[in-house]
Structure 1
Amino acid sequence: MTHLKSIGLTLACLIGSAAFAAEKPNIIYILADDLGYGDVQALNPEHGKIPTPGMDRLAKEGMVFTDAHSSSSVCTPTRYGVLTGRYNWRTYKQSGVLFGFDQPLIAPDRLTVAGLLKKQGYNTAIVGKWHLGLGLVDPKGKPTRGQRAAVDGVDWSARITGGPVDLGFDSWYGISASLDMPPYIWIKDDQFVGKCTTTKAFHRKGPAHADFEAIDVLDEIGNKSAQFIQTQSADQPFFLYVPLTSPHAPIIPTDEWKGKSKLGLYGDFVMHTDAVVARITEAVDKAGLAENTMIIVTSDNGCSKVADIPALKEMGHFPNGKYRGSKSDIWDGGHRVPFIVRWPAGVKAGSSSDEVICLTDLMATSAELSGATLPANAGEDSVSFAPALKGKPIESARKGVVHHSVSGQFAYREGKWKLLLAKGSGGWTREKMGVDAPMQLYNMEVDPEEQNNLYHSHPEIVERLITQLESDVKRGRSTAGPDQKNDTGKINIRRGVRQ
């Protein structure tokens, strides 16, 4: 009977995949930068004071995931997970982020979501911020690193290797990293658009193109994304990845948006960000592609302290909702993110899901929706959330989701239980802890604010979750399939544990 049941489940999965594959939806993945869960008014009706009509509309017309998480609480690691379906800590990048002149983090032979979909006949494009390293060289042909290129210089005419167009994307228009990291210059596909002939500082000083202004970038991303959509045909599916630069610092809304939120520049910048989301949505609608286009809006981590969270709260706005912590932390405020999906052909309007998902799950979901089969050495930490789009439970061999802080400290979420292998936030938040314990264990069903540490009262759960996390690390994957090798053997899940 077990064998027959297994065959039945396999056939059901195949039939389900075939049904999705027959449609091959267009996929637009909008990744905001430092947008908190509570910044979207539809997700935070009581304490969300910033108007976000663009994202609210998508929530009304689609599905909201209430328990979605970035794989890291900071930028670069999350982006690695989005595009590869694999946790960043399986690479050498165990903490922190890359800078604009750093070398590529994604290995040249690693399959990305773009590469997967390109093989399925998709037109693949990225418009916006990369922040995963590029193969830049100095005038002597040596690879650039960190911020040294601001001193040593860059060969602005050399082909840029290891970027989006070498990793499955047909085209790219965007910038190297965050808007507070040089170089300040546009990139088209694998070439800089001109040369950096001057120096500017949008927080960090560095090489800049004379005509580049940070305040223009967000609208340009929206315009270029809309232009791409307008050129698409219903005869070929497309994947458009739109990593925005906002509302990350520098917080610079245009004059059109200044003062609109009544909550200061951060509130204005969130409204500006929302308007760009609306611009992209309108482009899809005007192109007549709405029915079979899946628009996903999410964020790479929680709201940053740069937004002045205490001041926002005084005005009644809680940018990370009720969740503890903020960007950088392994408390949920650092990595619980907005996740909205509109897809008229495949998602019921006004629906929601409380399934625990991770941004690494784009890879497996894209495979299922496009009818592709993931190879064993790809998407090792990715689970398809396609069933949830139909209101069905997600069934997977992945037992839990791993969270990771800016300092490289770990947390593990399984169902209602969340274990933090750290005494504090693991990030930039400094708060006094109520219970004197080396780790933290929370029941997220009754304590989503992570206030009641149950470490001492449930040792058996602590031990079980640690064992599962150790297994996920050792196996090189957290999903079903043959064991894979991590890129490094120096993965210390207990680096935040007070001995």
Structure 2
Amino acid sequence: MKNLKLFNLLMIRFLTLVFSAFSFHFSVSAMPLGMAPPNVLIFLMDDMGVGDCRAYNSSSKVEMPNLERMAEQGMRFTDAHAPAAVCAPTRYSVMTGNYPWRGRNENGTWLFNMPSQILPGQKTIGQLMSDAGYETAFLGKVHLGGKVFSKSTGKAKLNLIGGYKDFDFSRRVKDTPASLGFNYSYELPQGIQGSPYLAFENGILVGEESELREWKVGTYGSSVIEADGFGSPDWDSSQAGPVLTRKALGFLDQHFMENQKKGIRKPFFMHFCSQSCHVPHTPPDELAGEKVRGVTIDSHLDMLVEADHTLGMFLEKLQKNGELENTLIIFTSDNGGLSRGPVGQYKGDHNSNHGFRGSKAQVYEGGHRVPLIVRWGNGKNNSLVKAGSVSNSLVGLQDLYATLAELTVQPMDSNQGLDSESFLPVLLSQKITPRTPLLIQSNTGTFFGQQSKKALRENSWKLIVTKNHDPIELYDLDSDPMETKNRIEEDLMSERVERMHRNLKKIIKSARSTLPFRINRNKNPKHSKPVIHSMQVMNPRAELICKIKNRNHAKVQNWNQKFKIEGKSPVRIVLVPQSQEKWDISNYRYIGIPIQNWDAGVTTIEGRINNGNLTSWSHHAVGFAVAPSWENIALGFPFPMVEESYNGPPVFKQQLGRPDGHRLHWRRFFPNDIREITLDIRSSSGRVNALIKSPFLAWENKQIQKQRLEELPYLDDLGQVRSIEWPGKAKNLEEARKTMNQSFRQAKILAEQKKLSSFGGWIDGPKLEASGRFRTEKVKGKWWMVDPEGNLFFSVGPCLTGSRAETLAEPDRAKQNFFSYLPDNNDYLKWTGLRKVGGRQFVNFPALNYRRYFGEKWEEIVDRGTHDRLRAWGLNTLACWSDEKLQKDRKTPYVLMSSIWWQASGHRKFPSPFRPDFQSDIEENLKKLLWAKDDPYLLGIFIGNELEWPDRIGDKILSMPDDHPTKKWALAELKKRNQPTQPAQIKDLNELYLPFVETFFRKCKAAINEVLPSTLYLGCRTHRGPNVLGRGALGSVDVFSVNVYDSRVRSWQIPEGADIPILASEFHFGAVDRGVPSPGLSGSADQRQRALSFAHYLASALADPRFVGVHWFQWIDQSAAGRKDRENHQCGFIDVAGKEYSELVEVVTQATQNMYHARRKENRSTEQILFDLLDQ
């Protein structure tokens, strides 16, 4: 038995993996689930070479201890390159992810008032990070041009006619970092080497325009002017670095203060462009009390010391604010190092380009090979970027763009980052295909643009071409890093030269040279705008800053917003804002809490987010999660909002979950008023040992994203949401057909191997009396169902099993282009997919799809496949409202539903058992089901669904008309009891609740016995009501049914001591990561948590000796566009295209395989049984 169980589990896992691989593949590098978005700091040096620091050159004459420590704690790249051997072109490439020649000028834009090198429509790295929710800052040299206005013309001033006084600095400059995605900027237009000698802060001149002056070449104290020009009267090149440092630290202080003020940690992105170590070499005397000038052999190297001090101050600031560990720091330079003399005659015996030929502005390695050092994590071996690691991967600085796009999970448009390739997998030590080729350009000559050369890297080979792209040099850098042996004339190299030359010209002529980053690699990237991916909207964008208010008896350690929790199970902790009264997260649509269970057992977490005016039924949002040992999981809250907060297109008001993340639930919740988050933690081992990280916020309500999610058509040809991608989404009809065929084949194999009775009962369990019908029996203190063959049977199955998941297809939708496809009057599919109900037209996409997959015999094929799937997955019951055709197949046990009538006069869904024809009406309705009489596969029947039972009955009766049968009965009962009737007293009427309920259940049972004898009466699927219901049902119902949407079963309608079997007749768990926008009545973080939550719910029923089954709602996801009552829940075992949710199926198969053995064990808690269910 154990071997067979293991084989089955391995088989389904293998087939699921094969099936999944067939459907989709991800390209996003694996990072911890729910990890807080990291800060990003780019520290871009000016003219620093690989020989300038001891991280690359042990003989360097300058100490840079902070950078050297950063290399020890991070990753050092040995083959990183600036895309140009001079600064301006490289800065454009870093900003845009494009090769320099894709900008306005091939060799860059050098003057501050020239039209921007960044062309309209070219997205900057600042805009990229701003779109990801980052607070962005730029500091330092720009060298990209810009728009400065003329006083005389009011237009952009492109020359110096009229002198500098004609520049209108009262107006904000345009097309500079201040207007290109950076929330804060402090710009030196030309750095320290050229005019104008001034700064712009957020696009506004620093200082008074009237005080600007001319500057002539010369030395002014510690400051040096390299070229005639104009600038601020207090310009001092030696103080540029200290000013930039202070401004950067000020930005960080302000950012951290704003985060604390709001109680929400947003990440920052800072692009810091140091003036070090460009000429003029004018280091400050000191920086923040640390001596700089004169520390090394010359002022050039002193500036490196200055930069290292600045880096150290940044690191210290991050450490002090608890942000160092989660800041991705990228240190590099805009080109190779400066020349310090002829080979072998270097000034001070220091070579800035140690080990390589050439220097800045030259095409040889010394001109463009740059230091690239990256730190991210705790600086140890278990850091995200492993400490002390070295990468030989080929990298261009334009690759920063795609790297940050992948880091922030933002698929790139095809016109973004045209030459950028992410090296995030390299940082995370993942295997990838090496980048090749890489193009580099240089400017070597008296004037820029003359004698321009380009080089192409292909693995270790480097081809150099002239300005006209004629090949002139070829080197193998592996054997000849100094580029001393030009091999271009070698006969054996002709083919290589021809290929590399061809590739170089191809890149230059190309619209783009790399594929844009996409979450799904199989997705064709040719489209300009990639479809938004679910991983993109669910990616963390901010964190809540919190503290623990209540910790029960647990030991709590705060590890910088990571809380280590230890204690005896159960443990309750309460997270509250660290320094505010409440959190306002109204700009987000999702909260997740990353959790890792450090215990050997399984841990469960029930969470609740509370508003200020909390009630038991409103002003809170709930979540639930299961954490297997050492698994990184997230407790998810896809929280609801109120209707009045929706501001989207009216066409989506016909659905509870809207495309922009606005969701409705009867439990009203206000995300702008969060006071606390309570977590109840339990463990199967009896000891809680878990790490809980700060709650993260996702699905930011960005206008551009919102508009794209709301684009019409809303549904594609298959009925899937068109505007968003997700793992496993069917790309077209043919792929969907193949997927479903493969699933059916897989299910058939597994179904045939299942060792169950023909009714799905436990064939290896105890043998009881075989009555030929389903019945109940108490065995060793636990209630069970018993199948017709005498096998123990625990009922598990989905409601609405079949081929129907309809949505409205009324003209108001059709005319708005809501559907990509609807059958017209001449389409044969009209008869399959469209029908009218109550005068309104509905479309049923599952049936449309199946008809297109399988042809005229689709119903036979799908029904057979459905039975196979159910058996393969351990689902033994066709629960409520399943297709009659499936029921009549007599392959899977089923339940039936018979409706009843309720009280008139506005008493919605409140039964009227004293109507003279109440029982006869039920009998007439039951006669419609006579086809099921004596059917051994009929498990039982419900009469009524979710009737509205008041807490007390007195007021209800008093409000009825005097001639109402229930009121007449009540008054007669009062007379029998000698109690007043004119007027009747509410307290006396309340005492009639029990006989009222007893009459209801007794007559329902009598009707069943009359029409469908020997059929179990399963109650009325109660969703709320007092425990008088359970007392009144005793002796009449065979099984009492409750609809419980919660993390575990409960039955407060059954009083303690009432010995009666119970069935959980409805529950589910949904998520918002698969296109369908509503998570249903019980939301989960993702598909894995949906699956584990199912297992936990099942475990809770198995742990209660009264429960005999659990029924999931429902088989297919509800239509994303909403059924007739607007519900559009992602709650299915399969999606609208027929594809199974493999994460759910795998766990359900495993749990149902283990459930009988788990149920038979004695004195096991829910968590202990859950551990058994998940045990492989």
TM-score class, shorter-chain normalisation, is 0.7 to 0.9
1:405 to 425, 433, 442: 442
Q: What's the Cα RMSD here?
A: 2.7
| Structure 2 match to 1:172 | 185
Matches within 5 A, 1:110-125: 110-125=122-137
Q: Distance in 1 between matches of 2:19 and 2:356?
A: 41
Q: Distance in 2 between matches of 1:8 and 1:245?
A: 52
Distance 1:229 1:452, change over 3 A: same
Deviations 1:183-212 (A, max 9, x none): 111211121123252112411111111122
1:109 to 107, 121, 126: 121
| Structure 1 match to 2:158 | 145
- The answer on whether the counterparts of 1:387 and 1:394 sit within 8 Å (CA) in structure 2 is yes
Bigger shift: residues 229-238 or 178-187: 229-238
Q: Is 1:381 paired with 2:419?
A: yes
Q: Distance in 2 between matches of 1:150 and 1:89?
A: 31
| Structure 2 match to 1:475 | 510
- The answer on whether the counterparts of 2:436 and 2:458 sit within 8 Å (CA) in structure 1 is yes
Deviations 1:451-491 (A, max 9, x none): 1111011111111111111221222211124499xxxxxxx
Distance 1:332 1:177, change over 3 A: same
Bigger shift: residues 187-196 or 363-372: 187-196
Q: Distance in 1 between matches of 2:398 and 2:123?
A: 13
| Structure 1 match to 2:370 | 337
Residue identity matched to 1:350? G
Q: Is 1:160 paired with 2:169?
A: no
Secondary structure of the 1:349 match is: coil
| Structure 2 match to 1:361 | 399
| Structure 2 match to 1:418 | 462
- The answer on whether the counterparts of 2:111 and 2:190 sit within 8 Å (CA) in structure 1 is yes
Q: Is 1:197 paired with 2:237?
A: no
Deviations 1:269-313 (A, max 9, x none): 2211221122222211112101110111100001224x5576972
Secondary structure of the 2:495 match is: helix
Matches within 5 A, 1:213-232: 213-230=236-253, 231-232=255-256
- The answer on whether the counterparts of 1:105 and 1:132 sit within 8 Å (CA) in structure 2 is yes
| Structure 1 match to 2:70 | 58
Q: Is 1:455 paired with 2:491?
A: no
- Deviation of 1:154 after TM superposition, in Å, equals 1.1
Distance 1:56 1:9, change over 3 A: farther
Distance 1:213 1:153, change over 3 A: farther
Q: Distance in 1 between matches of 2:360 and 2:423?
A: 25
| Structure 1 match to 2:299 | 265
Deviations 1:19-58 (A, max 9, x none): 588442110001010011110111111x311111121111
| Structure 1 match to 2:277 | 247
Residue identity matched to 1:246? S
Q: Distance in 1 between matches of 2:311 and 2:38?
A: 19
1:13 to 27, 31, 42: 27
- The answer on whether the counterparts of 2:418 and 2:512 sit within 8 Å (CA) in structure 1 is yes
Q: Distance in 2 between matches of 1:74 and 1:9?
A: 46
Distance 1:151 1:120, change over 3 A: closer
Q: Distance in 2 between matches of 1:448 and 1:146?
A: 44
- The answer on whether the counterparts of 1:21 and 1:368 sit within 8 Å (CA) in structure 2 is no
Q: Distance in 1 between matches of 2:242 and 2:406?
A: 33
Secondary structure of the 1:315 match is: helix
Distance 1:187 1:301, change over 3 A: same
Q: Distance in 1 between matches of 2:84 and 2:272?
A: 19
Structure 2 residues without counterparts, runs of 5 or longer:
1-17, 217-224, 287-291, 378-382, 444-448, 516-524, 529-1176
TM-score of the superposed pair, with normalisation by structure 1: 0.87
Distance 1:463 1:147, change over 3 A: farther
- Deviation of 1:92 after TM superposition, in Å, equals 3.5
- The answer on whether the counterparts of 1:20 and 1:369 sit within 8 Å (CA) in structure 2 is no
Q: Distance in 1 between matches of 2:111 and 2:322?
A: 39
Deviations 1:63-98 (A, max 9, x none): 101110011111111011101000111233122651
- The answer on whether the counterparts of 2:77 and 2:371 sit within 8 Å (CA) in structure 1 is yes
| Structure 1 match to 2:229 | 206
- Deviation of 1:6 after TM superposition, in Å, equals 11
Q: Distance in 1 between matches of 2:33 and 2:427?
A: 11
- Deviation of 1:163 after TM superposition, in Å, equals 1.1
2:334 to 293, 300, 303: 300
Q: Distance in 2 between matches of 1:51 and 1:442?
A: 33
- Deviation of 1:17 after TM superposition, in Å, equals 5.4
1:319 to 333, 345, 352: 352
Matches within 5 A, 1:390-401: 390-395=428-433, 399-401=436-438
- The answer on whether the counterparts of 1:25 and 1:293 sit within 8 Å (CA) in structure 2 is yes
- Deviation of 1:260 after TM superposition, in Å, equals 0.7
- Deviation of 1:338 after TM superposition, in Å, equals 0.5
Secondary structure of the 2:385 match is: coil
Distance 1:377 1:321, change over 3 A: same
Secondary structure of the 1:111 match is: coil
Q: Distance in 1 between matches of 2:352 and 2:33?
A: 35
- The answer on whether the counterparts of 2:109 and 2:116 sit within 8 Å (CA) in structure 1 is no
Q: Distance in 2 between matches of 1:335 and 1:5?
A: 47
| Structure 2 match to 1:132 | 144
Which structure is richer in relative contact order (CA contacts within 8 A, separation 6 or more)? Answer: 1
| Structure 2 match to 1:291 | 325
Deviations 1:90-133 (A, max 9, x none): 23312265123322111232211111111111111111111111
Count of aligned pairs:
467
Q: Distance in 2 between matches of 1:149 and 1:6?
A: 69
- Deviation of 1:147 after TM superposition, in Å, equals 6.1
- Deviation of 1:151 after TM superposition, in Å, equals 5.4
Residue identity matched to 1:54? N
Matches within 5 A, 1:28-39: 28-39=41-52
Residue identity matched to 1:225? A
Q: Distance in 1 between matches of 2:408 and 2:364?
A: 34
Secondary structure of the 2:272 match is: strand
Matches within 5 A, 1:411-450: 411-422=455-466, 439-450=472-483
Residue identity matched to 1:136? V
- The answer on whether the counterparts of 1:101 and 1:147 sit within 8 Å (CA) in structure 2 is no
| Structure 1 match to 2:565 | none
- The answer on whether the counterparts of 1:21 and 1:369 sit within 8 Å (CA) in structure 2 is no
- The answer on whether the counterparts of 1:34 and 1:327 sit within 8 Å (CA) in structure 2 is yes
- Deviation of 1:395 after TM superposition, in Å, equals 2.7
Structure 1 residues without counterparts, runs of 5 or longer:
427-436, 485-499
Which protein has the larger Cα radius of gyration, Structure 1 or Structure 2? 2
Distance 1:466 1:8, change over 3 A: farther
